[in-house]
Structure 1
């Protein structure tokens, strides 16, 4: 077992109160899973993973068992112009394959923090429905994310800001633009949705989808089934 620490600092386009709300209410269950109940006194409860609850400047989460732990800390400070800085620290213990797990967690962190910024810029405070689908075993090959990009019509030369149409059977075609792209992840943003694609094939997993729909007009079951079928079909 080896301990790790991943640290980032980003500037976000809103005040600290809005950042704290984004990581603790409404979006917390899907953007930054934290667990715990803030209504319990974090300083007095050993069973609550919330170890510090100091709005709007600090949130600390720690889960541990049998020598293992996983901890998240968010330190938020006001900056000029109505912006805020977020210092994010993720620490813990990896039991197996330390290098691969650290590399994957580090790269995921960058994508998650980017998605937080996109949420705050475009969707803050709106109701959200989270829809996820895991790729089949066939999406665990080295070229699996390339297959997904090709199916979406996003080629390897695509850049942030490029426009595409997302056309998934069972869903209405949607105009979107690329908001994040590298060899590990792909992010697309429409007027009502953040579409997130994770190339976890690079870290021993599969290519997965996890989308955030900021509209009340969404059928969760039908939408999830449509994306699951789409993933299964492109890797069939």
Structure 2
């Protein structure tokens, strides 16, 4: 049965309102994924065929998509960003609201969307404070069928060489693809997600097996000359190997 939902978050970040605005409207893939930037006016075209319903740089941006196709899990999707200056404009306060209508399996869909929101917004803050305005080579992909298992995400931590007690903020020598050792900080970790931050990249692992999908990955590579396709091939092989595929 269709039912409305709303996921709201607020946070402050060491970035100017203009930096936040650029991050959420440029569509570069620096923190989320590459997408069509919105047409800069109310009533303009937004990402994925949405409509811009609010446009007040750098304070208010909303896009709304209605009539999502019949195979979608949603019939309405709206993203709303409110940005206000703090500390004389040196910092920003952000309110993010994701709302809409889930078609069915509401509890599972809401739980997944809510937990992903926390991880995505954390990645936004990492991008703003560490990599803002640097071009990103972005790649994202899923693990094999075996990664849908109920306890599959634990295999990711083991493959990285992380102990069960390796907490957020820990600097690690993580085991990457092709024998590569990553000097990284575990910038996010809970039973559903792992985030690694290196000097030049944000590497994200998504335990979507908790919601019936394969484990996923994304790489935001900010190194000069970074190659998204090469990263995808290397990390896809790593992810397959982690699940014996």
Question: Of residues 65, 69, 78 in structure 1, which corresponds to 2:76?
Answer: 69
Q: What does 1:165-204 correspond to in 2, within 5 Å?
A: 165-170=173-178, 172-204=180-212
**CA spacing shift, 1:30–1:12, aligned 2, 3 Å:** closer
Gaps of 5+ in 2: 69-73
In the TM superposition, residue 48 of structure 1 has moved relative to its aligned partner by 5.1
Q: Are 2:231 and 1:229 equivalent residues in the alignment? A: no
Q: Contact 1:60/1:74 (CA < 8 Å) preserved in 2? A: yes
TM normalised by structure 2 equals: 0.89
**CA spacing shift, 1:48–1:145, aligned 2, 3 Å:** closer
**CA spacing shift, 1:207–1:185, aligned 2, 3 Å:** same
Report SS of the residue matched to 2:177: coil
Q: Contact 1:145/1:199 (CA < 8 Å) preserved in 2? A: yes
In the TM superposition, residue 35 of structure 1 has moved relative to its aligned partner by 4.4
Query: How many pairs does the alignment contain?
Result: 235
Q: Deviations over 1:127-168 (max 9, x none)?
A: 111111201110011111111100101122111121222333
Q: Aligned-pair RMSD on alpha carbons?
A: 2.1
In the TM superposition, residue 90 of structure 1 has moved relative to its aligned partner by 0.2
Gaps of 5+ in 1: none
**CA spacing shift, 1:33–1:49, aligned 2, 3 Å:** farther
2-structure distance, mates of 1:28, 1:227: 18
2-structure distance, mates of 1:29, 1:70: 22
TM normalised by structure 1 equals: 0.92
Q: Which residue of 2 aligns with 1:120?
A: 128
Q: Which 4+ residue blocks in structure 1 deviate beyond 4 angstroms?
A: 32-36, 44-48
